[in-house]
Structure 1
Amino acid sequence: MTAPNYELEQALRAQGYLRVAGVDEVGRGPLAGPVVAAAVILNPEDIPAGLNDSKKLTAKRREALNQILLERAEVSVAEASVEEIDKLNILRASHLAMERAVAAMDPVPDYLLIDGNLIPAGLSLPAQAVVKGDAKSVSIAAASIVAKIRRDRVMVDLAQQHPGYGWETNAGYPSKQHREALQNLGVTPHHRRSFKPVHNILYQE
């Protein structure tokens, strides 16, 4: 598998789109916590080495790259809350987080590369959806790293308020420890009530 590159961005820059932002979200699958999105515009003269899909990097490497990106790229991070996930559904909430991350960029990007196969409805900027984008575009890979680091930190904080669910290591995903804690300790305010394992516990016959 080849590493992501800057070819998509380069082609867009050749068309006059100089500020190309990669956009990605993290946290669709967990049973607890917000969904977090990031938008990142890389400096074409200063692209950090080793950018890749956040899931393919070690925690240490992710942390190091996140720090470099915060110093050397334009970065915006936003989230959608558990309440919004339950009200809207996880896909729409993840798109809302993406829309917020893009909206917070100043000045706005010229073009967006969105991870996935859909462009969020609330985005009015020129954009294209890139399936498995974090494996193709370094800008999207950068956004995946920033979003994952931010979300992991949120879950570590929440783990201190609600010990026993293992959020500091499972980030709210349905690990064995998390599922057992749901049964034994119950549902917290940070659990997604629209997700089946949580819903089933709340509404057990």
Structure 2
Amino acid sequence: MTCSHTFPPPITIRMANEKDAEALLAIYAPYVEHTAISFEYQVPTLKEFARRISHIRARYPYLAACQNGTILGYAYASPFHQRAAYSWAAETSVYVGEDVRGTGIGAMLYEALESILKKQQVINVNACITYPNPGSIAFHEKMGYKTAGHFTKCGYKLGIWWDMVWMEKMLSEHPRQPKAFIPVTELEQEGLKPT
């Protein structure tokens, strides 16, 4: 007896780089053009988007979810604030392709991202979310985030004033003396793999 079931190829999470800019920008562009999820008005150029990836990758993880060589979504961390005392806090972002929303890819990306951030000694993760955005709020709550702040009508896009919500999650306890932040490039030299 033969098995007639076919299974989709597995989804893998890997570090993204500047060569992925075109595929990542194709995912991001509809968020800029058609939604207030991104407060950008103009889709960045390919050159600018590649520069952003390179800049973030100097210190933080920038991950891509791939299946059969196609990038389905991405997530990255960036500084919560530039000053030294904020080294143990990072802002998280995730974007998935329009045709794969609700499939669990965002959760896979965030889980891998948080795993790396813990290795970097990051404790607080923070997400800035346009409000209302029930899908993103529910997603972050499912991932363990709680609302930390709500700002009224602080963004104007698509002819509407939008609120903004900050949500936060603690990846570990806050020690009396935290260990030094480790740039992701140092972890990669030691053989770090996202999954």
TM-score relative to the length of structure 1? 0.24
Greater share of strand: 2
Greater relative contact order, per chain length (Cα 8 Å cut-off, separation 6+): 1
Greater share of helix: 1
